[in-house]
Amino acid sequence: MTSSPRKALIAAYKERPTIAGVFAVICNATGQAWVGQSRHIDTHQNGMWFALRQGSSPHRTLQAAWTTHGPDAFRFEILDRLPEDYSDLRRKDELTKRAALWRARLEAERV
């Protein structure tokens, strides 16, 4: 790949809109749920699954359940998406509020 198309691809990647939202990781075997928030929800699952496969997730209860039941017992669900027109400060506050609401609804732990 020459540098010109590569630079164009990199620029397009950097300019793509970010999708902020609230997500849940659910263990199908136990029904246990973990709820979190992300400024880049469309790519957040990849990072979480990578850490869990490596056994290096900072979320101990999630890592323990993953180790016990295996990756096929888990699913990643996007629960809520924020509109793109929110300012950074409003986005942060809204994510915090919505994540707390979903944790209460699902009786979930925080990730």
Residue that the structure tokens 């027109």 belong to: 85
Number of structural domains found in the chain? 1
| Window from 1-5, 39-43, 107-111 with minimum mean pLDDT | 1-5
Model pTM? 0.86
In a domain, 51, yes or no: yes
Query: What distances in angstroms separate CA 80 from CA 34, 43, 75, 90, one per listed residue?
Result: 14, 15, 16, 15
Q: Tell which phi-psi region holds residue 55, choosing left (phi > 0), alpha (psi between -120 and 50) or beta.
A: left
Q: What is the pLDDT of residue 50?
A: 97
Q: What is the pLDDT of residue 31?
A: 96
Q: What is the CATH number of the domain that holds 81?
A: 3.40.1440.10
Contact status, residue 109 vs residue 103, Cβ threshold 8 Å: yes
Contact status, residue 74 vs residue 32, Cβ threshold 8 Å: no
Banded pLDDT at 1 (limits 50, 70, 90): low
Residue range(s) defining the domain that contains residue 42: 22-110
